[in-house]
Amino acid sequence: MSKINQIQNELLRLDGGTFQKLADAYLYKRGYDRINPLGSVIGADKVRQGTPDTLVVLPNGKYVFAEYTTQKEGVTNKFKKDLNKCFDESKTGISVEKIQEIVLCHTSMLSPDEEDLLRDECQKRGVNLNIFGIGPISYDLYQKYPGIAREQLGVEVDTGQIIDVDEFVNAYNKKAATPINTTFHFREEELEEVLQGLEKSNLVIVSGKAGVGKSRLALECCNRFLASHPEYQVRCIFLRGADIFEDLRVYFSEPGCHLILVDDANRVNSFDYFIDLLHNQREDQKIKVIATVRDYAFEKIQKLSCSYNNWAGVELNSLDENQIKQILKDEYEIINPLYLHRIADIAQGNPRLAIMAALLAKQENRLDSINNVSNLYDEYYSSVRRDLHELGDENLLKAAGIIAFFRTVDRSDENMMKAIETAFTISQKVFWKAVRQLHETELLDMYENEIVRVSDQVLATYLFYLTFFKDRLLKFATLLTHFFPQLQYRLVDALNPVLNTFDSERVIEVMRPHVNQAWEIYKNAGDEKNLMHFIQVFWFLKQTDILVYIHNRISSMEPELVDLSQLEIEPNSNIPSPSILSTLGLFNNSDESNLKIALDILLQYATKRPTEIPQVLYLLTEQFGFDHESYRYGFAIQEIVIDVLWERVKNGKDVLFSKLFIAVAKHYLFTEFDTTRMKGRAINIFKFTLPQIPELSELRQKIWQRVFQLYQVAILKEDVLNLLHNYSTSGYKVSVDEIIAQDSSEVLPFIESYLDASSYSNCLIIQSYLDHLERHNVPFGENLHERFTNKTYALSEILFYDSSERLHRNITNKENERLIENFLVNYSFEEEERLKQQKIQDFFVNYNLEDYKQFFNQCLEIQQETGRLKHNAYYFPSQVARVFIALADRDPQLYIDVMKYYLSWGEQLKINDLRLINYLIHILDVDKTYEIINQADYPSKRKWLFNFYRLLPQELIREEHLDQLCNLYKESQTNEVPDDLNFILKYCALEKGILVKIVKILLEVGNDNYKNYPLSCLFNKYEYESNTLLLFNCFDNQFNILKEAYLQVLKHDRHMDDNGLYFVYILNRNPEFIFEYIDWIYQQQDYSYHRNDRQDYSFLWRYDNYDKLMSQIIEYIYNRNREQLSLRSIRVSNFLFLMQMEKTMKFCGNAKINF
């Protein structure tokens, strides 16, 4: 019997209620989507009274009425009565004007005259009529809607694998663990790629890992493409295991436009059918295909598609953590950060897993419901377990578990294969047979029959858990016995996701006996090295034993003898692993009792190894410090750290631990932090702000009170003040208004009670703190600013005046930030400099000599605080120089008196400003200026004298100046010699050889590499033209001195002539220099110089007679050492093989050199 006959026979058997359901489904498929079945009983195949049987609301506000019947006789009269009822507004409540169309469906045959009669009835009232009898319905069910035939009539028209979009969504949602009809997220860029691919080609392949959203993207593409190309009909392939060839022939033999979605093409046995379909489409057809494929099978599908050139590929990557969290918020209204973080951790960028976890969390409404997600994984990988079960060979799961541990297994690695065979008692033949079967089931990826890996990291975690912990087909002890510690990090990478994802207690119970046994073996053998490695991995299983072991090791140590006053307590992350410190750092997540013991042992270690206090501080502030989840536990860990450390402080009697406490407090009093967490091979950085909760308030109050208690100890006062200043100037790190306001209730009373307004240091710290309060809108006493402004502080405000900084400091709200924008628009550097100088002139306008003497003493006090002022070492002296310049302009005679006093005072402010000497020369004369500079005895005297000779006008230079200058070079220390020689040129008019004479003086102390720094200016790569034209002319008669200077500078700065300009210059003047240079390399006492000579000699190829030069080089080196051509001392290849390859090969060919 034909399929048409089967359909028609089944239609004839239908009763009224069943037919009405079928007719509604039929009309829905035909596009009548807003169906209201008035005459059908919901949830039952029964009819009820109503007119019409079905009502459809159209987008334009009008209606479609549908009437159905299964009568065999009198159908025309039945429909005439139905039409009269439809046109009776009293029965329908709808006026005839609002009826756009009436549809009549029946299971009999009407003659043309009967249909015309019914159509006339409708046309009289301006209503369209459509009639669908058993003929049109049966053929449509066969050709277009086989799903209705299958579901409503039980007739299998085809294999049911080619379905429309709605059917695909329903079928997918029944099969998959997560629905596919979710909101579309984050894939707009990939969506555009696919749509463009469909416009330009007929085949688009979307590849990616399982669960990343390939099917959802493909579905969205179908909908978007259909919206812009309504002439296309979308069909989806939903695999049911049967051959699909006949279905394709039937569905796509007619003319028309078709878009086919092939989901999971890697599971289609005959994807080449679709390629043939694209090849063989006729001119009256347009067929396009979107195929999704797992990443590991992409190559296979790509090969099948090679014969069809008109295709495009789009790769879909995993979502990032923030995108996963956004889906959870949008789709499931999950906003709790703990749930979001946990689900994102489970998902690992896989939206399908995220949705499964979200559904479970919503259903249970408990965070611990997603702590152990083994059942979720069982469901997610149910097809994997089913495939393995059906194959019925436990070696398959064993092989999968082994590969899950190693991540990658290489058949050609004999050591690895022997280790697997020995450890797991599985022969290589059996193992690789299992691997091939797993590859065929797409569980594993296999490359060239040699290298195999698990296709997905999440799947690898599940397989490792399944084989070693749930089904226990493989023994965990095997990993410890055969692969530890050599594969320690591989074991950690495999264990961590298992412990974080599945029932950790169950996993631990499986591991515990094997870990205990391994512990005893290492301990009894005295194998301290491997025991420490073992502790790093399994510390959480042996906490008490480890703490006892570490305590005993520390107790046996001899204490270091160090000068505690010289210790710098700054955090240092340089902690070797494994080590005692790295082990103790692991206890940051242990229970309260073990945490306290670990901290106490850590501080015990600090007493034995005080030089490692910086590393201890790092652990206390980073490992035991705040992280983004600390608030969940009421900051309990940080409070324990503060309490345990305070016990060691002994109210300030123990200076070492007091300083350590202040250093920890400095860090703990921030409000903004960042922490890092390893996630697989990636590092996640969390930036977070501490929430203002009661537990935090209590902790900060305790810290402040204890810090201020330590201020009573004289030796700790400076440390406490540094902490307060750091707190005030840490910017965004202390920026939560509410917390700052609460802190002020402890800080302000301390300031008013203990700090001294006569101290510049105290004023500076307090003013910084008050500025900090103002920035965060925290009120304080109106007179505090004025009270803590002494004369020295007022002076420093003048010296360090900065209009932009002052404006920023006074900004207290968003509205005033517009002042900053206006300021920056109108800012002028020249105007700012003029304003600074004017401020200084106005402030010092009435100063006399005594005032300046007091000013210098105040400057010393300010200079001691430059560290807190955060200026560089040269900034403050440059500001003092402004004061001198203002004085010189105002009162030249007073300037001379002040300068004399300043130099006799010892020039303690270390001003290095040429303008000060220049003013003296202009006010006085050369000799009197020299007398002022030279008469006093002060540390920087030689620097001032050098500056004098640099500024000395050429027309005033005398013979005695030449002698004085040479003597000055001879007498000066390294840091006193100027770093240039150009000023010497003006002395050459009086003595042409003065430059050579000074270079000789500098060369005489050649072993002092710093002394050679002035010689470097002779070979400045950026001043080649001026040097060779001006300076080098002075060496015409003593060119050897220039060569010696070149080699001396080169010895201490190998990169000073990288481009070889000076080398070639010397070579052009003296071709024999190449041999001197080679001899010089051999003569270097620093063996590493000539052994590792990495000089780029490519510049030699630019030498005019490069071929002659290269021959000379090779011959000379060869004669120096006849044993081999490529010497350990000088690499001949360095001269030959760099950059100029064409010349190199030509030369080597001519010289018959073979390397």
Give the CATH number of the domain where residue 9 resides. 3.40.91.50
The answer to whether 793 and 767 are in contact (CB under 8 A) is yes
- The 3-state DSSP class for residue 1051 equals helix
In a domain, 92, yes or no: yes
In a domain, 598, yes or no: no
Pair 144, 175 in one domain: no
In a domain, 839, yes or no: no
Q: What's the confidence (pLDDT) of residue 1148? A: 47
Domain end, chosen from 337, 354, 371, is at: 371
What b-and-e string marks burial along 1111-1127, b requiring 16 or more CB atoms within 10 Å of the CB?
ebbbeebeeeeeeeeeb
Q: What's the confidence (pLDDT) of residue 995? A: 92
Domain end, chosen from 540, 572, 602, is at: 540
The answer to whether 381 and 490 are in contact (CB under 8 A) is no
Give the CATH number of the domain where residue 251 resides. 3.40.50.300
Phi, psi of 314 (to 5 degrees): -130, 125
Pair 113, 229 in one domain: no
In a domain, 964, yes or no: no
Pair 231, 101 in one domain: no
The answer to whether 140 and 166 are in contact (CB under 8 A) is no
Sign, CA dihedral 1005-1010-1014-1019, equals: positive
Q: What's the confidence (pLDDT) of residue 816? A: 52
Pair 405, 313 in one domain: no
Give the pair of three-digit tokens for residue 1147.
């030369």
Domain count along the chain = 6
Q: Is the pTM of this model over 0.85?
A: no
Pair 409, 488 in one domain: yes
Pair 331, 259 in one domain: no
Q: What letter represents residue 169's amino acid?
A: V
**What is the crossing angle of helices 214-228 and 188-200, to 10°?**
60
Domain end, chosen from 540, 571, 600, is at: 540
What gap in Å lies between CA 493 and CA 490, rounded to an integer? 5
Q: What's the confidence (pLDDT) of residue 1151? A: 46
Pair 366, 387 in one domain: no
Beta strands in 133-221 (DSSP E): 162-163, 203-208
Q: Which domain holds residue 401?
A: 378-540
Return the HEC string of 504-565.
Answer: HHHHHHHHHHHHHHHHHHHHHCCCHHHHHHHHHHHHHHCHHHHHHHHHHHHHCCCCCCCCHH
Q: What's the confidence (pLDDT) of residue 1139? A: 40
In a domain, 137, yes or no: yes
Helix (H), strand (E) at residue 1066: helix 1061-1069
Q: What's the confidence (pLDDT) of residue 264? A: 84
The answer to whether 319 and 212 are in contact (CB under 8 A) is yes
Name the DSSP letter for residue 1072. Answer: T
Pair 683, 784 in one domain: yes
Give the pair of three-digit tokens for residue 190.
């990939």
Pair 756, 658 in one domain: yes
At residue 230's C-alpha, the angle toward residues 227 and 231, to 5°, is 155
Pair 444, 527 in one domain: yes
Pair 644, 783 in one domain: yes
CA torsion angle 637 641 643 646 (round to 10): -170
Pair 298, 416 in one domain: no
Q: What's the confidence (pLDDT) of residue 429? A: 93
The answer to whether 76 and 114 are in contact (CB under 8 A) is yes
The answer to whether 263 and 236 are in contact (CB under 8 A) is yes
Give the pair of three-digit tokens for residue 1042.
């220039």
Residue appearing with tokens 């979605």: 261
Average pLDDT per consecutive 10 residues, the chain (1155 residues; last block may be shorter): 86 93 92 89 84 93 95 93 93 93 95 94 94 94 86 85 87 78 88 93 90 90 93 87 80 87 81 88 91 82 84 90 88 84 82 83 76 76 75 88 92 93 93 88 76 82 92 93 92 90 90 94 90 93 94 93 79 93 93 95 95 95 92 93 96 93 97 78 78 95 97 94 95 94 96 95 95 94 92 92 56 48 61 88 95 95 83 84 95 96 94 94 94 93 95 94 94 86 91 92 68 78 82 88 90 82 88 86 60 62 73 78 49 46 46 42
The answer to whether 664 and 670 are in contact (CB under 8 A) is no
Cis previous bond, 939, omega within 30 = no
Q: What letter represents residue 499's amino acid?
A: L
In a domain, 1035, yes or no: no
In a domain, 1087, yes or no: yes
In a domain, 1037, yes or no: no
Sign, CA dihedral 251-255-256-260, equals: positive
